[in-house]
Structure 1
Amino acid sequence: MKLVVALSALTIVAAGCGGGGSDDNSSVSAASAINAAQGLYGGTDANDNTVGGVVLDSGAFYFVYADSSTDSLGLVQGTASAAHGTFQSSDARTFDISGKSASDTPILAGYNEKNSVQGAIYTSAAKQSSTKFNVLYDANYERPVALSAVAGKYSGSAGSTRGGETATFTIGDDGSIKGAGASGCTFTGTATPHGNTDVLDATITFGPSPCYYSGATLSGVVFVSNNQLLAALTLPNRSDAFVVAGSKWLMATAAVSAR
């Protein structure tokens, strides 16, 4: 998954252990039973951000955008319908982590099944201006993920619109998740394969203070490839998001560091 490697390599100044995710689908547009645009994708947008993410079979999508040269980082999340070449979402929200804001940003795009999605993310519900994007399908989506293959400890950056810090994110062989930020905020949860795809569904619960969202239970998705991890989640009411990007601790690296 090239999109994961590209995004995880960025220096992310994002929010500390105070974000997280679960979709609130009470106001989403109807999606196809099996979304025709489902898949992993990677590409760019008109602001020269690297864009990577997933459209699930349910129509729920998570797209992270980032640019280390401008300290740009954010997540676009929602649920889309995809039919007859048209990909659209009326409930999409952009969580501008570097800008510390969240807003409704509808999407209207075209798609070619197992090929690409390209179109515009409107910068407001009024649709007065937009940002164009173009992402290409990643066939790794069709390769079922094994928990044993992605299990391990990852370190990197974590963020929400409330702030950011370095953090660790550990996945166990049984799918258990635990993590901690430099502030002392902790979180625990679970990860399970999303059907026969290279995506993990994830749920986490944040610990007590100093976590921004103490006790909140969040859900979203996790991708792991080439020892790089990217997690994207939203709060239940979708008022904020939690993004994690990290690299896996390898035994060789740990041995060198211990000397």
Structure 2
Amino acid sequence: MKKAVAIGLGVISAAWLGACGDGGWGNQNVPPPPAPAPTPVTDAQGFYSGMDSGNDSVTSVVLDSGTYYFIWANSITGSFGVVQGTATAAGGQFNSTNAKNYLLGTSTVVNSTISAVYTAKSNLAGTITPASGTVGYTSFSGTYSTVYEQTPNLANIAGTYQGAAGSLNAVDASASVTLSASGALVGSGSSGCRFSGTAKPHANGNVYDLTVTFGGTPCVDAGQSVTGVLLVNNGKLIATGTLADRSDAFLLVGTAQ
């Protein structure tokens, strides 16, 4: 995960209308509609914490759907970023062909693939390979955290968090967000960009589905919204998401005040 400048799965329901006329078909029995396809559930889901070959700390979030967010940060340089995509994960093999490595503050996103192995509720390790060139190439490993198995509770994590935030084209070295017990959040960065949104418990795991909408100027993605995830552990918050077309990503990391 290359150093950067310092700083939804929708459930589609269909309405079925069936009718039998009085003509040539007679009063036939209308077959029932097919059952909706189940939401994919992977045993790779969870939180993993570890390091990559660039000496960045890495927090990996793998959802039950296979969508993942790998958040990396370097405590020495102050740089951070996120790798996002969807993976097929089964039988100990974790693979993704649509990874995007967002190098925050550099105006660069690197299309990548991920090849990894995992043991359910134990570890995840692999390699991120750029589609071309060498920028963003890294190996990583992480250990599973049982924090993922706790019951999410917005009231327990409500409060104000102070840290840093960034997107591809801008980094706020100082940013804050306040999260209410109802899941409403408001925040701002040192650039003057303001944003608001909501967080609600995800269907599985101690993680929250996140939507953030940016205000006007000077926000880089003014008026646009990102969707992603929010998680809090031991007073540390991570909020991250991407625009619908995945052309940009947002990441905020903070500590409870």
The TM-score bracket by the shorter chain reads 0.7 to 0.9
Give the partner amino acid of 2:69. Y
Give the partner amino acid of 2:255. S
Structure with the higher helix share, 1 or 2: 1
Q: Tell me the residue number matched to 2:152.
A: 145
Q: Tell me the residue number matched to 1:9.
A: none
Q: Is the 8 A contact 1:23 1:235 kept in 2?
A: no
Q: Does 1:168 align with 2:150?
A: no
TM-aligned CA deviation for residue 156 of structure 1: 1.2
Distance 1:51-1:81 versus aligned 2 partners, 3 A rule: same
Q: Does 1:37 align with 2:44?
A: yes
TM-aligned CA deviation for residue 68 of structure 1: 2.2
TM-aligned CA deviation for residue 71 of structure 1: 3.7
Q: Is the 8 A contact 2:160 2:179 kept in 1?
A: yes
The gaps in structure 1 that reach 5 residues or longer are: 1-11, 15-21, 25-31, 250-259
Q: Is the 8 A contact 2:177 2:188 kept in 1?
A: yes
Query: TM-score if structure 2 supplies the norm length?
Result: 0.82
TM-aligned CA deviation for residue 99 of structure 1: 3.8
Match 2:64 to one of 51, 54, 57: 57
Match 1:79 to one of 73, 86, 94: 86
Identity of aligned residues (%): 39
Distance 1:98-1:211 versus aligned 2 partners, 3 A rule: closer
Query: TM-score if structure 1 supplies the norm length?
Result: 0.81
Match 2:233 to one of 225, 238, 243: 225
Distance 1:185-1:87 versus aligned 2 partners, 3 A rule: same
Question: Where do 1:92-241 residues align within 5 Å?
Answer: 92-124=99-131, 130-165=137-172, 166-241=174-249
Count of aligned residue pairs for this structure pair:
225
Distance 1:65-1:164 versus aligned 2 partners, 3 A rule: same
Q: Tell me the residue number matched to 1:242.
A: 250
RMSD over aligned CA atoms reads 2.3
Higher relative contact order (CA 8 A, sep 6+): 1
Runs of 4+ with deviation above 2 angstroms: 123-130
Q: Is the 8 A contact 1:94 1:105 kept in 2?
A: yes
